[in-house]
Chain A
Amino acid sequence: MTADLTSLLAAWTDRLAALAPALTAAERPFRTQLTVRTADPSALGETLGVGFPAVPCTFTSGAGAEVLWLGPDEFLVVAPEGVNEEVVRGALGSSRGSVVDTSAQRTAVDLEGPHVRDVLAHGCAVDLHPAAAPAGTCVQTLLARTGVILQVRDGDRVTLLVRSSFAGYLAAWLCDAATEYL
């Protein structure tokens, strides 16, 4: 018997969908995520098939993976199929660092639409103007009263990673903040 996976945001699916077309908001749950701490991620990039971001506050993507810069030696790997904690720790070898499976620590909400930046500006102090936060930007910040990791993609698309226990608050906040754009 295999237990069903559940996400707290499943209860919000309809309410988030109702924000379209001003804002398309949908959860992307159950992705493998690994928190990696290392000062030298070069070997990991080869294993994953995607280079680690060298520039602070950016992320890289490729080969079905994404690597988010979270700090000078801290990364979040959104792993492709078949890559898990053991694989990445193996790639780390004997060098200092840590690899922790944090898959269920956060869930992802993809946002898209003409008012993405407007809605986020109601709660996010980071400058999300395309000139200041081009595609590939990745910041850890507060959105209203919850911490988030915010990834800027091209074409008015943003992904928010939020702690699972805060996900309901984030959904409620998004629905409220979008009020004027519906």
Chain B
Amino acid sequence: MTFRRPTGGAVDRDTVLRFTFNGQELTGHPGDTLASALLAHGVHEIGGSVKLGRPRGIVAAGSEDPTSLVQVETPFPEPMLLATTVELFDGLVARGLAGQGKLAAEPDPARYDAKHVHCDVLVVGAGPAGLAAALTAARSGARVVLVDEQNQAGGAVLGVDDPSTARWVAEVVAELENTSDVLVLQRTTAFGLYQDGFVLALQKRTDHLGFAAPASRARQRVWRIRTKRTVLATGAHERPVVFPDNDRPGVMLASAARTFLHRYGVLPGSRAVVFATNDSAYLAALDLAQSGVDVPLLLDARPEPPAGLAAECAARGIEVRVGQVTGTEGDRRVTAARVGDELVPCDTLLVSGGWNPVVSLFSQARGTLRYDGGLGAFVPGEELPTVRVAGAATGEFDLAACVRQGQESVGSANEVAVPASDAWRTEEPGLVLWRVPGDDNASFVDLQRDATVTDVLRATGAGLRSLEHIKRYTTIGTAHDQGKTSGMIAAGIVAEALGVDLADQRPTTFRPPYTPVSFAALAGRDRGELHDPVRVTPIHPWHVAHGALFEDVGQWKRPWYYPKPGEDRHAAVLRECRAAREGVALMDGSTLGKIDVQGSDAGKFLDLLYTNMMSTLKVGRIRYGVMCGVDGMVIDDGTVIRIGEERWLVTTTTGNAAKVLDWMEEWLQTEWPHLDVHCTSVTDHWATIPLVGPRSRDVLAAVAPELDVSAAAFEFMTWRDTTIAGVPARVCRISFSGELAYEINVTAWHGLAVWEALIAAGEPYGITPYGTETMHVLRAEKGYPIIGQETDATVTPQDLGMSWVVSKKKPDFIGKRSFARPENLRPDRKQLVGLLPVDPEVLLPEGSQIVGTRELPPPPVPMLGHVTSSYPSAALGRTFALALVRSGRDRVGDTLYVPVGDDLVPVTVTESVLYDREGARRDG
């Protein structure tokens, strides 16, 4: 039997769409939702309930529906969608869910993206009030964005039979679409309203196309809207009344049945009992009766039914009776409504307990809500400076009044005319009724959470009074629908149970998102290669072409090592280390942070910034420096070169370049604005190539014919400007390995060419490119710390054995005061030392703890420190490690133990410098 009417509704009956639900092959039409297509076949039962497994159906016609959760299986598995919001497409396969879905195991192939848009007026909701607001704003020349959740404009007009109002809607939409600077977005839900006019909306762009969705078109888009003013015309949701066994499939909101009838041409059943507390349910009953549904009985909970509407019902053969539904009968579908002792057979039970203005976004905007005792609902309680509410969202349900509110919400005198309508006529005020007494265990407040009146009363019985607490205790309002139909009723039952006035109660806070948003949509294009920028140096293509493996350092890709065929990391790194110590090697150091510091106070500034003295450095010379935080802990290190009387170039570690520049600016702008200093990042401007090893001088001489490279003419810790491979270069004689070494700087434009020139010139010497792993080994052999590896924000320069880098003469510098604190003077601070495993083959895992005894004592085991770096060393012919050890320097020569697996590995504590302690290799 079909429940599709031969005419009516916005469905294309000439086109048949096939779909499968719960294994059953069915058909529908374009314009259907999955829910309307199912109802057309008389299918009400969607799935079971999450805890109790009770059958559940379709309660509402839109996103407020608490029950019709489905899993879509094709074209891509997606859990937790509502049958009432899934637009039908050919080939759809779905099944009902019992509260929990299943995420896809494979990656989602669809595109998701985001787009920014700016406007003067954002209107949320394209019902009569929203359309009036948008039209008024558009006619005034404003930039307007109108977003609406449905696939077509109209709002409540879509759920009634009112051709003249529908024509008005079409005319308004046509005018909006023909006005420049007006953007109308259907299938778009404003789900988050944030400060300063920032609103997020999700547009479902191709979901409804199913298999026909073009792959290049983003399936969903997050609109990032920035608006000067916002009009919330979000309408109202009908709420049910709670009564025993109110959860059976076939029990439906009266307005939902009216919407299914008029929008989709679908009847909810053959025989419907209506349970009303207000006039709107009469209109649903009349429309259904006129459409052929047998409506034997309308129960009105009010003592006096509205005379006019009751007479219309009588004329249609609907008995109107004062009373309440007290229960239902049926197995998987309601078969009768219980009215006291009487059973009224029916396959549909329509309920209307009144209307809740949709105030979610208003509440998100920090608008306070006021309880309207007449409506039995919270309504916007105040005006906000830039957010207005119009239409049913304010509790106004008269069409002309809604349109007037929409127009006034944008503050224009332009009159928007709407034809008169009797589709929402009312005679008498509604009655606020939360529930009908009966079996509280079977009276469901939140159908999705299987939460009953018993659960609410248990909460109040346990002493809970706050709606927020009761929400968490009962879970009412925490499901996909966030309590759109249940929250107000729960509040009402609580107030009754506690004997308090709802006007004195604070409603639970509405939070984004208004409707569920998938993580894929939020991630947008920030996936795969666009997930995070990959920063590369100008020499990067060479590294790729020569088989480098890469290490991520912050956002940078740095060559890690360059394995030759058949080499593992261990072999490659030993080879690269050997080349640097015995021949010549080079690496790409372009990622180092570089900051140009200029001004007459630059020396003074650097003296304050670094722990050591910089202002005394002579032009042409270089000094290593350490920076500390105000707590005296090391935050960065690097070289400082003096380019001119008032100009310096500071290098930072790769990962800290931006942080150090920010740190400099913070001090200059907040504490020392009187200093004449300017800092400019030149990190990307320079390509930097350390050329390392005893034969580095030969290679440099070959490419820099104008430069006197002799040790006497080009001293350690000095720099020279020269020409390398025909391009201007700055060469610094510094070393991070202890070997003779030069750091060659050319503009990034020249980086690759100069690198290749060095490779060519170094060929006779077996020049070897090396990566970060070899750099780490070489510096560790010399005991040079790496910021962030040997340090962790609790390490002072003194802890690193670098008291020499802390000036005793300077009157002040950042961190100075902290070095006098007793904590920083304790002799048992953790200090940097070397560790040599007694077995020279054993490699200690980095991060290992260090203990003082051969056997582990019972817990708590006293920990002396941890291993910070650990490598096999070609130069030492053994493994070694650096470690932070309590009173480490006093333990040099001692044997300590490192738990590795089940073993305690004995290690000998040494000075941190393990190779070339006398520094003999520095000059080649």
Contact of B533 among A11, A102, A169 (CB under 8 A): A169
Contacts of B113 in A (CB 8 A): 122, 177
B599 touching A98, Cβ below 8 Å: yes
Q: When chains A and B are docked, how far (Å) is the Cα of A22 from the Cα of B683?
A: 34
- By beta carbon, the residue of chain B nearest A105 is B685
Q: Which of A23-66 contact B (CB under 8 A)?
A: 29-30, 35, 37
Question: Do A145 and B749 contact each other (CB < 8 Å), given the known contacts A35-B680, A96-B676, A121-B117?
Answer: no
Q: Which of A115-135 contact B (CB under 8 A)?
A: 121-125, 127, 129, 132
Distance (Å) between the CB of A62 and the closest chain B CB? Answer: 25
Q: Is A176 an interface residue (CB 8 A)?
A: yes
Q: Which of A1-32 contact B (CB under 8 A)?
A: 1-8, 11, 29-30
B753 touching A8, Cβ below 8 Å: no
A125 touching B224, Cβ below 8 Å: yes
Binds A, one of B484-492, B524-532, B895-903: B524-532
A129 touching B680, Cβ below 8 Å: no
Contacts of A4 in B (CB 8 A): 752-753
Question: Do A2 and B727 contact each other (CB < 8 Å), given the known contacts A105-B682, A144-B525, A165-B684?
Answer: yes
Distance (Å) between the CB of A115 and the closest chain B CB? Answer: 12
B598 touching A177, Cβ below 8 Å: no
Per-residue CB contact flags for chain B residues 384-420 toward chain A (1 = under 8 Å, else 0) read 0000000000000000000000000000000000000
A98 touching B143, Cβ below 8 Å: no
Contact of B753 among A6, A96, A97, A101 (CB under 8 A): A6
Distance (Å) between the CB of A117 and the closest chain B CB? Answer: 10
Among B680, B752, B754: residue with most chain A CB under 10 A? B680
B536 touching A165, Cβ below 8 Å: yes
Q: Which of B116-133 contact A (CB under 8 A)?
A: 116-118
Question: Do A180 and B217 contact each other (CB < 8 Å), given the known contacts A6-B752, A6-B753?
Answer: yes
Contacts of B525 in A (CB 8 A): 122, 144, 173, 176-177
Contacts of B887 in A (CB 8 A): none
A169 touching B749, Cβ below 8 Å: no
Contacts of A121 in B (CB 8 A): 115-117
Question: Do A124 and B116 contact each other (CB < 8 Å), given the known contacts A1-B725, A3-B750, A35-B680?
Answer: yes
B748 touching A104, Cβ below 8 Å: yes
Q: Is B114 an interface residue (CB 8 A)?
A: yes
Contacts of A144 in B (CB 8 A): 525-526, 530
Contacts of A35 in B (CB 8 A): 680
Distance (Å) between the CB of A104 and the closest chain B CB? Answer: 4
- By beta carbon, the residue of chain B nearest A33 is B685
- By beta carbon, the residue of chain B nearest A170 is B533
A8 touching B540, Cβ below 8 Å: yes
Q: Is B211 an interface residue (CB 8 A)?
A: no
B747 touching A165, Cβ below 8 Å: no
Q: Is A153 an interface residue (CB 8 A)?
A: no
- By beta carbon, the residue of chain B nearest A163 is B684
Contacts of B530 in A (CB 8 A): 144-145, 169, 172-173, 176
Q: Is B163 an interface residue (CB 8 A)?
A: no
- By beta carbon, the residue of chain A nearest B647 is A98
Q: Is B639 an interface residue (CB 8 A)?
A: no
B726 touching A169, Cβ below 8 Å: no
Contacts of B117 in A (CB 8 A): 121
Contact of B680 among A37, A124, A168 (CB under 8 A): A37
Question: Do A165 and B535 contact each other (CB < 8 Å), given the known contacts A104-B749, A105-B682, A144-B525?
Answer: yes
A2 touching B726, Cβ below 8 Å: yes
B598 touching A105, Cβ below 8 Å: no
Q: When chains A and B are docked, how far (Å) is the Cα of A4 from the Cα of B111?
A: 40
B526 touching A105, Cβ below 8 Å: no
B532 touching A1, Cβ below 8 Å: no
Contacts of A105 in B (CB 8 A): 681-685, 748
Q: Is B711 an interface residue (CB 8 A)?
A: no
- By beta carbon, the residue of chain B nearest A179 is B216
Q: When chains A and B are docked, how far (Å) is the Cα of A66 from the Cα of B173?
A: 45
Determine the interface band of chain B, counting residues with CB < 8 A from chain A. 35 or more
Q: When chains A and B are docked, how far (Å) is the Cα of A99 from the Cα of B765?
A: 41
Q: Is B686 an interface residue (CB 8 A)?
A: yes
Secondary structure dominating the interface of B: mixed
Question: Do A7 and B116 contact each other (CB < 8 Å), given the known contacts A98-B678, A144-B530, A165-B537?
Answer: no
Contacts of B573 in A (CB 8 A): none
Q: When chains A and B are docked, how far (Å) is the Cα of A5 from the Cα of B726?
A: 12
Q: Is A164 an interface residue (CB 8 A)?
A: yes
Distance (Å) between the CB of A37 and the closest chain B CB? Answer: 4
Among B530, B676, B686: residue with most chain A CB under 10 A? B530
B533 touching A166, Cβ below 8 Å: yes
A102 touching B750, Cβ below 8 Å: no
Among A5, A100, A132: residue with most chain B CB under 10 A? A100
Q: Is A159 an interface residue (CB 8 A)?
A: no
Q: When chains A and B are docked, how far (Å) is the Cα of A178 from the Cα of B826?
A: 61
Question: Do A98 and B598 contact each other (CB < 8 Å), given the known contacts A5-B750, A103-B685, A179-B216?
Answer: yes
A168 touching B682, Cβ below 8 Å: no
A122 touching B526, Cβ below 8 Å: no
A129 touching B216, Cβ below 8 Å: no
Question: Do A104 and B747 contact each other (CB < 8 Å), given the known contacts A172-B530, A173-B530?
Answer: yes
Contacts of A132 in B (CB 8 A): 118
Q: Is B226 an interface residue (CB 8 A)?
A: yes
Q: Is B617 an interface residue (CB 8 A)?
A: no
A145 touching B116, Cβ below 8 Å: no
Q: When chains A and B are docked, how far (Å) is the Cα of A180 from the Cα of B214?
A: 10
Per-residue CB contact flags for chain A residues 74-101 toward chain B (1 = under 8 Å, else 0) read 0000000000000000000000111111
Per-residue CB contact flags for chain A residues 149-182 toward chain B (1 = under 8 Å, else 0) read 0000000000000011110110011001101101
Question: Do A125 and B682 contact each other (CB < 8 Å), given the known contacts A3-B726, A103-B747, A179-B111?
Answer: no
Q: When chains A and B are docked, how far (Å) is the Cα of A127 from the Cα of B181?
A: 13
- By beta carbon, the residue of chain A nearest B600 is A96
Distance (Å) between the CB of B555 and the closest chain A CB? Answer: 8
Q: When chains A and B are docked, how far (Å) is the Cα of A135 from the Cα of B28?
A: 52
Q: Is B550 an interface residue (CB 8 A)?
A: no
Contacts of A173 in B (CB 8 A): 525, 530
Distance (Å) between the CB of A2 and the closest chain B CB? Answer: 4
Q: Is B534 an interface residue (CB 8 A)?
A: yes
Question: Do A145 and B684 contact each other (CB < 8 Å), given the known contacts A5-B749, A180-B217?
Answer: no
Distance (Å) between the CB of B410 and the closest chain A CB? Answer: 19
Distance (Å) between the CB of B28 and the closest chain A CB? Answer: 29
B532 touching A168, Cβ below 8 Å: no
- By beta carbon, the residue of chain A nearest B746 is A3
Contacts of A98 in B (CB 8 A): 596, 598-599, 678, 680
Question: Do A11 and B749 contact each other (CB < 8 Å), given the known contacts A3-B727, A98-B678, A105-B681?
Answer: no
A3 touching B725, Cβ below 8 Å: yes
Q: Which of B649-693 contact A (CB under 8 A)?
A: 676, 678, 680-686
Contacts of A3 in B (CB 8 A): 725-727, 750, 753-754, 757
Contact of A127 among B118, B533, B536, B540 (CB under 8 A): B118
Contacts of A101 in B (CB 8 A): 685
A164 touching B115, Cβ below 8 Å: no
Per-residue CB contact flags for chain B residues 536-548 toward chain A (1 = under 8 Å, else 0) read 1110110000000
- 8 shortest interchain CB distances as A-B pairs: A3-B753, A98-B598, A169-B533, A98-B678, A104-B748, A165-B535, A127-B118, A37-B678
Can you show 14 pairs from A to B with CB atoms below 8 A apart?
Answer: A2-B727, A6-B749, A8-B541, A37-B598, A37-B680, A96-B600, A101-B685, A124-B116, A127-B226, A164-B748, A165-B536, A165-B683, A166-B535, A169-B534
**Apart from the given pairs A105-B748, A145-B530, 11 other A-B contacts in the complex at a CB distance below 8 Å:** A11-B541, A98-B678, A98-B680, A100-B598, A102-B682, A103-B747, A125-B116, A164-B685, A169-B533, A172-B530, A176-B530
Binding site for A on B (CB under 8 A): 111, 113-118, 143, 181, 216-218, 224, 226, 525-526, 529-530, 532-538, 540-541, 556, 591, 596, 598-600, 676, 678, 680-686, 725-727, 747-754, 757
Binding site for B on A (CB under 8 A): 1-8, 11, 29-30, 35, 37, 96-106, 121-125, 127, 129, 132, 144-146, 163-166, 168-169, 172-173, 176-177, 179-180, 182
